[in-house]
Amino acid sequence: MYRDNDTLYDLTDTGSPPATLAEIKNILLMLEPSPDPSPIENIYEDIIRLFIGEFPGYRASNTKYHNLEHTSSTTLAAARLIHGLHVQGQVFSPRLVQLCLIGALFHDTGLIQTEDEVEGTGARHTIGHEKRSIALMEKYLTEKGFSPEDIRDCSHIIMSTELTLSLAEIPFNSEEVRTMGKVLGSADLIAQMADSNYQENLPLLFMEFEEAGIEGFKSPLELFKKTEEFYRSVARKRLTAELEGVSSAALYHFRERWKIDKDLYDESIKYNIRRLKESVMVSLAQLSIISR
């Protein structure tokens, strides 16, 4: 059976960091001016080390939903949206493109525990993890010799991934930095909701919510039932209003890069929502039969 999200994940295997990095570098070459890929390559290597537990002072990532693949998917999605905007005529400085991708690589690192944090998993830091991510990014970029301006702008870009934070509350230094914030905020959402195994991974997200003490979901099934509502009233609203429809730039990327005249992220998200609705209906029908 044809799956609406097969095409998206046939293009690049986001489960493979080398394959994802190779495609990001391909996209950077399509930009004018083209950013130097070296900083992204070097930081990507360190992010991989961080997630697998080889970075000094940190435990391996142990959140099953917000994992390395999600970080890779988000970074690739950000690169695709930047390219899509470029195709539409927007020109970005190589510096800001690099900082946006660096922000994508760091945006969920706050969920990774330090060596001293030995209780539970990183999921307990779900609420407020953006601040932890920014703190780690600031420490890392400072040690790598990035300027205070670079660190400030990257911090504001990462802040744009916080669902409850209005972009109006973020003191962006320029409209270009604000656009990069919109790119990363959009990339985080579409990479998550277009995931090829979105439905299969939702029980893992439920476990993270449960450990974090996030209320509103008593079971994975309840999370399934409320995901469509989340998409329509939170995610899609934020993508179209707060983030000003930047996600639609994906269409221009796929059209230019792959000669596919479709927004594959949008198609995959809609497919995932349809699957969830069908699964909920089947589960409720089964529960009804059992309760008779």
Tell me, yes or no, whether 87 lies in a domain.
yes
Residue type, 91: V
CATH number for the domain that contains residue 229: 1.10.1300
Tell me the pLDDT of the chain averaged across its residues: 93
pLDDT of residue 60: 98
The two three-digit tokens of residue 84, written as one number:
């899509």
The two three-digit tokens of residue 81, written as one number:
């949206």
Task: Identify the CA nearest to 191 among candidates 111, 90, 79, 83.
Answer: 79
Tell me, yes or no, whether 88 lies in a domain.
yes
Would you call 201 exposed, middle or buried from its count of C-beta atoms within 10 A (0-12, 13-18, 19+)?
middle
Do residues 186 and 246 make contact, with C-beta atoms less than 8 angstroms apart? yes
Tell me how far apart the alpha carbons of residues 271 and 266 are, in angstroms, rounded to a whole number: 9
Q: How far is CA 254 from the centre of its chain?
A: 18
| Three-class SS of 183-225 | HHHHHHHHHHHCCCCHHHHHHHHHHHHHHHCCCCCCCHHHHHH
Tell me how far apart the alpha carbons of residues 217 and 219 are, in angstroms, rounded to a whole number: 6
- Bridge-partner residues for 114, per DSSP? 58
pLDDT in tens, 137-170: 999 999 999 999 999 999 999 999 999 999 999 9
Tell me, yes or no, whether 126 lies in a domain.
yes
Tell me, yes or no, whether 6 lies in a domain.
no
Q: What are phi and psi of 58, to 5 degrees?
A: -130, 145
Confidence of residue 218 (pLDDT cuts 50, 70, 90): confident
What is the extent of the structural domain holding 179? 12-291
Residue type, 120: G
Tell me, yes or no, whether 230 lies in a domain.
yes
The two three-digit tokens of residue 215, written as one number:
């209320």
pLDDT of residue 221: 81
Q: Is the pLDDT of residue 71 over 80?
A: yes
Tell me, yes or no, whether 185 lies in a domain.
yes
Mean pLDDT of 208-215: 93
pLDDT of residue 292: 54
pLDDT in tens, 225-280: 888 889 999 999 999 999 999 999 999 999 999 999 999 999 999 999 998 888 87
pLDDT of residue 228: 86
Q: List, in order, residues 6 or more apart from 50 with CB less than 8 Å away.
A: 58, 61, 109, 112
Strand positions, DSSP E, 86-155: none
pLDDT of residue 5: 53
The two three-digit tokens of residue 55, written as one number:
């970075």
Task: Count structural domains, the chain.
Answer: 1
Tell me, yes or no, whether 2 lies in a domain.
no
For the chain, counts of helices (H) and of strands (E): 13, 0
Q: What are phi and psi of 92, to 5 degrees?
A: -120, 145
pLDDT in tens, 9-68: 999 999 999 999 999 999 999 999 999 999 999 999 999 999 999 999 999 999 999 999
Tell me, yes or no, whether 1 lies in a domain.
no
> What value, to the nearest 5°, has the Cα angle with vertex 223 and ends 240 and 126?
75
Q: Compute how many other C-beta atoms are within 10 angstroms of the C-beta atom of residue 270.
A: 16
